[in-house]
Structure 1
Amino acid sequence: MTPALARRLGTGDAVVIGLGSMIGAGVFAAFPPAARAAGSWLLLGLLFAAVVAYCNAVSSAQLAAAYPVSGGTYVYGRERLGDGWGFAAGWSFVIGKTASCAAMALTFASYAITGPWWAQRLLAVAAVLALTALNYRGVRKTAVVTRLLVAGTLTALAVAVGAILLGDPLSVHWQGPPTSVYGVLQAAGLLFFAFAGYARIATMGEEVRDPARTIPRAIPIALFVTVAVYFVVGGTVLVALGPTGLAETTAPLAVAAGAVGPVVRVGAVVGSLGALLALIAGVGRTSLAMARNGDLPRWLSAVHGRFQVPHRAEIALAAVVCTLVMTVDLRGVIGFSSFGVLIYYAIANASAYTQPAADRRWPRVLNVLGLIGCVVLAVALPPLSIAVGSAVLAIGLGARYLVRR
C-alpha cells in the first residue's frame, strides 16, 4: 500500500498557501501584457478573469471536499469523467506549472541582482534547490515560510500603492492601444495566470485537516483576498501610467512608485520566492497522484518516511526546472501557462457538474459558466500560446496511449 501524506494544515495554512501562489510575481508581471491587449479596458478583463476564477474555485472546492487526496483535478477527472480526462488535466497542470516554476525562478533572479545573465541563472538555480530542500522538510515548514513571504509581498505592495496615490500625479496620455472584445478576453486569459494558485490548496488535499470543511472555506477566502489586491494594484498603475505607459513598461509598479521603487524590487523578489515555493509543493503533489496510477513513473510515488512528503517527485521536478532555467528563457510563458491551467479548470468544472446532489455545495450553473469561461479564455489567448499548449497536450496524450498499448 502506498503511504499517505500527513494531515497537518489548518484553514489558515491553506489560505496562506493559496495566497502565496496567487499574490506572487504575477502581480508584478501580468499587467503589461494584459494592457497591451485590452488598453484602457484592462480592469474589465480583470473582472472577467475573476468571475471565471470564482466559478472554477467553487468547483474545485466542492470536488476537493468529496475527494480529499493529493492530485486535484487529475483525481477528480479520473473519478467523475474517466482516466483519459484525468490524465489530460494532470498533464496540463504539471507541464504548465513546471514552466511557471522556471519563470518564477528567473523573475526572482532578475529582480535580485543586475549582474550578467549567467549569474542570474545560477542564482535562480540556487533558489530552486533551496526551496526544494525546504519543501523536503515537510509541509508545515512550507506553510510557515509562505506566511512570511506573503506578509512581505503585501507590505511592499501597500508601500508602492501608497506612494503612488500620495505622490505627485504623473502626466499620462490616456489614449491607449486599440480596444476590442477580443483584446479584453485575451487580457482576461493572461490575467487568469495570476488567479490560478488556489489549485494548490486542492492539490494538497491529502495534507489538510478536516478537508470537507477546510478546503471549501480556504479556496474562496484566498481568491477574494487576491482579487481585491489585484484590483487595487491594477487600478492604481493604470491611472498612474495610463494604458500606453503600462503596456510599454516591464516593471509598472517600480516605475509608478518612483522613489520607493527599491521597495517594489524587494517585494517582487519575495513574491517570486513565495510563488515558486507554492508551485513546487503543488506540482509535486500532482506528480505523486499521477505516479500512483502509473501515468508517470511509479517510483515518483514514494513518500518520505520521516517528513511525509513526495520527496522523489519534488527532486525530479527540481532537476527539470534547473535544466530549464539554465537553457531556456521562460519569462514569456504566461500565455502557455494560462492555456494549460484553463484546460485543467475546464475539466474541473465538467467533473463538478457530474457530482450528485448529496455532494453539491453550489448550483450547477456555476460549473457551466466556469466551463464556458475557460474555453472562451483559452481560445482568446495569443495564437502561439494556443499552438504550443495544444502540441504539448497532444504529445502527452499520444505518449500515454502508446505506453498503455
Structure 2
Amino acid sequence: MTKELERDLGLFAVIAISIGAMVGSGIFILPGLALKTAGPAVILAYLLAGVLVLPAALSKAEMATAMPEAGGTYIYIERGMGPLLGTIAGVGTWFSLSFKGALALVGGVPYLLYLFDLPVKPVAIGLAAVLIAVNLFGAKQTGRLQIGIVVVMLAAMVWFVVGGLPSTTASYYGGFFDKGSNGLLAASGLVFVSYAGVTKIASVAEEVEDPDRNIPLGILISLVFTTLLYVLIVVVMVGVTPPDLLSDSGVPMIHAAEATLAWPGVVAIIVAAVLALISTANAGILSSSRYPFAMARDDLAPESLTEIHENWGTPVRAITLTGGVMLVLIAFVPILEIAKLASAFQIIVFALVNGAVVAFREGNVGEYDPSFESPLYPWTQIAGILGGLLLIGYMGTLPLVGAVVITVGSGLWYFYYARDNVDREGAATDVVRRSVGKRAVERTKSTFEDVDGYEVLVAVTETTDEARERSLIRIAADIARENDGSVTIVRFDEVPDQAPLQQASQTQSPADVEFERRTSDLTAEFDVPVQYGEIVSHDTERAIVNFAEHEEADFLLLERADDPLYAPLLGSNIEWVSRHAPCDVLLIEERDLAGIDAITVVTDRGPFDPQKIAIADALASEAGARIDLLYPVERNATTAQRETVEDYLSELESLCSVPVKRSVVPTDDPTEDFVAVTDPADVLIIGTDGGRIHGNLFGRPADWIVDKVDCTAIQVQPNGSRPGLFRRLFERVVF
C-alpha cells in the first residue's frame, strides 16, 4: 500500500512557514546597502519589490492548487516550460539559494561579532563549513527549531518597530527622491531576494489541509504582512539613524536599535540576527542542494548527484557541490555583489514561474485544473515578467552579466548534455506549437481566399519535346482553370552574344512553325485561355525572370533538369531562375499523367507552404483525385505533439475542396521513409529544401526523394508570401 503524506498543515502553519522563509538576513543586511543606492526612498524600494513579487506568488499559488504535491519551483517550471527552461530554472534557483545562503553568512556574521574583534570572512567560512557538515550528517532536528526561530525574530522586529517609530526624525527623510527613479529601481532589485521565500509553502503543498483555500490565502497574507513589516522596519532605521552611519554600516539594525531601544534592544536584535543567520544559511544549503539532486533524478544532471549516503541518508555529492559554491562566494565575492546576484537569479526564476502559468493555461494540459486562479490573467503574469526584467536592467552590469551567463550556460548544458536524456516537453512548447500551426493555417486560408485568377507562365526551350510540353500545359491549365485564370506558354531561344537579336527573332525555323502548331492545338484542347509566344535573347534565365515580372505571373512552371557538374560550386541555371523569379516557381518532373487518383503533399520540416496546398487542391479538383498530406514526426514525439499536428492537418483539410487523407509519419529518417509512403501517389508535391550552400554541397533531401519516386513530381519554390529565414527555422524547431 502506497503511503501518502498527511494533510495536517492549517492556515496558520502555512503563514508561519511562508513568513519564516522570507524573514531572514535580508532585512538585517540589505537596508544599509540599498540606502546608498536609493537614499530614503529605500522605504519605497521594499514596497515596490513586494508588489513585483506578488504576480509570482499568485502564479505559484495557482500551480500549487492544481498540483498539490511535494516539489519546488523547478518542478512547476520544468512541467510548464519544458526541460530546457526547467534546466535554466533549476540552475538559476540553485545559484539564487546558494547566493542567499552566502549572503546570510557574510552579512550576518558582523552581528555575531559585534562585541568581538574578529575577521568576518574566516568566521563566515568556518560557520559555512559547520553548516555544510550538519547537512551532510543529517539535519532532521533543525526543522523543529524553525518555528521557535521565527517567533523570536518576529518578536524582536515588532519590538524594534513599536519602540522605534516614536523616535524617528523627519530631517532624516529629507531628499527622499534625490537618487531618482533609477536609484529606486536599482534598490528594489537589490532587496528583491528578501521576498524569495514567499512561495516556499508550495514545496510542501501535499501536506497542506484544504490546499485550495489555505495555500493562496496563506501566501497572500504572509506576503502582505512581511512587506508591511519590512517597510516599517526600514522607516524606523532611516528615521532614527544618520544616513552616513546607516549606509556605511554592516550592522544597520544594531545602530538603529542603539538609538531607540538601548542595550536590551541591541541584544534582542543581535539574537534575532544570529538566529536569522543560522536559519537562512542552513535553509540555503538544505534547499539549494536539493535542486541538483532533483535535476539529476530527472536526467538533467549527472546521475552521481542523486547518490544518497548509506549511513547519513543525505545527498552527499549535491550538498558538497552546493557547499563548495558557497565557500567560494564567501571567500571571493563582495557582499553587495552577492546580494545583487542572488536577487537577479531570483527575478529570473520568478519570471519563469509567471511564464509557467501561461504555459499551463494555454497549453493542451488536460490534467491542469487549479481550484484557485490568479486574478487578471494574463496581465498579472505579464506585469510580473516585465517588472522583474526591468529591475535587472537597473541593477548594474554584474547582475545582468551573471543572469546572461547562467541562462546561456544552462542552455548549453541542456543541449550538449541533457537533451538526449529526456523525451518530455513542457506545456509551453505545445502553446507555441499550436500558435505556429494557427498562423500557418491562416496563411493557407489567405492563399485560398485572396486568389483572383491565377496567371500561370510556362517557360520552355527548343529542347522541350511535345510530350513534356503537353504535360506542363496540362498542369498549368488545371491550376489556372480552378481559379478562372489563364496560361501563357513561351519558348525562350538563346542565341550567341555576337548574333543580332533582331535578325534571330525575324528568322522562323521549322521548329518555330511546329511550336506554333502545337500550342494552337493545345489552346483548343484545354478549357482555359492559353496564349503563346517566343522570345529570343542572349540570356535565357534573365529573359524568363524579366518576362514573368512583366506579365505579373503568379506561377512559373519549368521543366526540372539535372544539375550540371559545376552546380555545387556555381549553382545551376534553374536555381538562379528560382531565386530571382518574382513569383512562385514550380519545377516539374513529369513521368506519367495518364490518370491522377492521389496527390501526395510533403512538408519540408515545419508547416506546409500554403502554395503546396493550393496547387494540390486545384490539381485534385480538376482530376477528381484526393490529397494525401504527409507530416513527419520523430518516433519519440510526445502525445501532445502528435495531437497538435493532427489538429493542424485537420484545419488544412477543412480548407480543401476535395477529399483529404491525413498521415502523421513517425520517422527518424523522413527522406527515406517518404519514398516508401508515396508509392500510391500519382503526383508528388514537394519543396526545394536544403538551403543554397548546403544543398549544393551535400544535396537536397527533396531532390533525392524526387529522383527516387516513380510518379510525377512538382517541386514548389515559394516567393514573397513565405515567412523569413529565421521564422522558418523557428517553425521547424518548435513544430
Q: Normalised by the size of structure 1, how large is the TM-score? A: 0.86
| Secondary structure in 2 matching 1:30 | helix
Range with greater deviation from structure 2 (332-341 or 234-243): 234-243
Counterpart of 1:189? Answer: 189
Q: Distance in 2 between matches of 1:66 and 1:311?
A: 29
Residue in structure 1 matching 2:324, options 320, 331, 352: 320
**2:123 corresponds to 1:124:** no
Counterpart of 1:266? Answer: 271
The structure-2 alpha-carbon separation of the partners of 1:310 and 1:56, relative to structure 1 and needing over 3 Å to count, comes to: farther
Contiguous gaps of at least 5 residues in structure 1: none
| Secondary structure in 1 matching 2:79 | helix
Q: Distance in 2 between matches of 1:193 and 1:106?
A: 15
The structure-2 alpha-carbon separation of the partners of 1:232 and 1:381, relative to structure 1 and needing over 3 Å to count, comes to: same
Matches within 5 A, 1:6-405: 10-11=9-10, 12-113=12-113, 114=116, 115-117=118-120, 119-129=122-132, 132=135, 136-138=138-140, 141-167=141-167, 172=172, 174-175=174-175, 178-205=178-205, 208=208, 211-241=211-241, 245-258=245-258, 259=262, 260-301=265-306, 311-312=315-316, 315-316=319-320, 319-321=323-325, 323-324=327-328, 327-329=331-333, 331-332=335-336, 333-356=338-361, 358-359=369-370, 361-363=373-375, 364=377, 365-403=379-417, 404=419
The structure-2 alpha-carbon separation of the partners of 1:158 and 1:375, relative to structure 1 and needing over 3 Å to count, comes to: same
Q: Normalised by the size of structure 2, how large is the TM-score? A: 0.49
What's the CA shift for 1:142?
4.4
Q: Distance in 2 between matches of 1:198 and 1:70?
A: 16
Q: Distance in 1 between matches of 2:164 and 2:240?
A: 7
| Secondary structure in 2 matching 1:355 | helix
CA-to-partner distance for each residue in 1:180-237, whole Å, 9 max, x for gaps? 1121111111121101112322234456566555433332232122112101101111
8 Å CA contact 1:161–1:233 kept in 2: the answer is yes
The structure-2 alpha-carbon separation of the partners of 1:329 and 1:381, relative to structure 1 and needing over 3 Å to count, comes to: closer
Q: Distance in 2 between matches of 1:98 and 1:104?
A: 10
Counterpart of 2:505? Answer: none
What's the CA shift for 1:58?
0.7
| Secondary structure in 1 matching 2:355 | helix
8 Å CA contact 2:59–2:354 kept in 1: the answer is yes
| Secondary structure in 2 matching 1:354 | helix
Q: What letter corresponds to residue 272 of structure 1 in structure 2? A: L
Q: What letter corresponds to residue 387 of structure 1 in structure 2? A: V
8 Å CA contact 1:64–1:215 kept in 2: the answer is yes
| Secondary structure in 1 matching 2:50 | helix
Contiguous gaps of at least 5 residues in structure 2: 362-367, 421-735
CA-to-partner distance for each residue in 1:80-104, whole Å, 9 max, x for gaps? 2221111111111101211221221
Range with greater deviation from structure 2 (23-32 or 290-299): 290-299
| Secondary structure in 2 matching 1:362 | coil
Q: What letter corresponds to residue 362 of structure 1 in structure 2? A: S
What's the CA shift for 1:340?
0.3
The structure-2 alpha-carbon separation of the partners of 1:312 and 1:62, relative to structure 1 and needing over 3 Å to count, comes to: farther
Q: What letter corresponds to residue 327 of structure 1 in structure 2? A: A
Q: Distance in 2 between matches of 1:109 and 1:376?
A: 32
What's the CA shift for 1:18?
2.4
Q: What letter corresponds to residue 157 of structure 1 in structure 2? A: M
CA RMSD of aligned residues (A): 3.2
What's the CA shift for 1:60?
0.9
The structure-2 alpha-carbon separation of the partners of 1:328 and 1:315, relative to structure 1 and needing over 3 Å to count, comes to: same
Q: Distance in 2 between matches of 1:336 and 1:194?
A: 13
Range with greater deviation from structure 2 (309-318 or 388-397): 309-318
What's the CA shift for 1:50?
1.2
Determine what percentage of the aligned residue pairs are the same residue: 24
Q: Distance in 2 between matches of 1:329 and 1:188?
A: 21
Q: What letter corresponds to residue 315 of structure 1 in structure 2? A: I
What's the CA shift for 1:143?
3.9
The structure-2 alpha-carbon separation of the partners of 1:10 and 1:173, relative to structure 1 and needing over 3 Å to count, comes to: closer
The structure-2 alpha-carbon separation of the partners of 1:373 and 1:80, relative to structure 1 and needing over 3 Å to count, comes to: same
8 Å CA contact 2:28–2:108 kept in 1: the answer is no
What's the CA shift for 1:314?
5.8
Specify which structure has the bigger relative contact order, considering alpha-carbon pairs within 8 angstroms and separated by 6 or more residues.
1
Range with greater deviation from structure 2 (270-279 or 342-351): 270-279
The structure-2 alpha-carbon separation of the partners of 1:331 and 1:177, relative to structure 1 and needing over 3 Å to count, comes to: same
The structure-2 alpha-carbon separation of the partners of 1:118 and 1:142, relative to structure 1 and needing over 3 Å to count, comes to: closer
Range with greater deviation from structure 2 (29-38 or 322-331): 322-331
What's the CA shift for 1:392?
2.8
Q: What letter corresponds to residue 373 of structure 2 in structure 1? A: R
What's the CA shift for 1:285?
3.6
8 Å CA contact 1:34–1:190 kept in 2: the answer is yes
Q: What letter corresponds to residue 61 of structure 1 in structure 2? A: A
| Secondary structure in 1 matching 2:241 | helix
8 Å CA contact 1:18–1:198 kept in 2: the answer is yes
> Quick check: which one's helix share is greater?
1
Q: Distance in 1 between matches of 2:281 and 2:8?
A: 19
Q: What letter corresponds to residue 300 of structure 2 in structure 1? A: D
Q: Distance in 1 between matches of 2:74 and 2:319?
A: 21
Q: Distance in 2 between matches of 1:40 and 1:118?
A: 29
8 Å CA contact 2:14–2:218 kept in 1: the answer is yes
Q: What letter corresponds to residue 374 of structure 2 in structure 1? A: W
The structure-2 alpha-carbon separation of the partners of 1:61 and 1:389, relative to structure 1 and needing over 3 Å to count, comes to: same
What's the CA shift for 1:123?
3.8
What's the CA shift for 1:376?
1.2
Q: Distance in 2 between matches of 1:202 and 1:304?
A: 27
Aligned pairs, number:
399
Q: Distance in 2 between matches of 1:170 and 1:52?
A: 28
8 Å CA contact 1:4–1:303 kept in 2: the answer is no
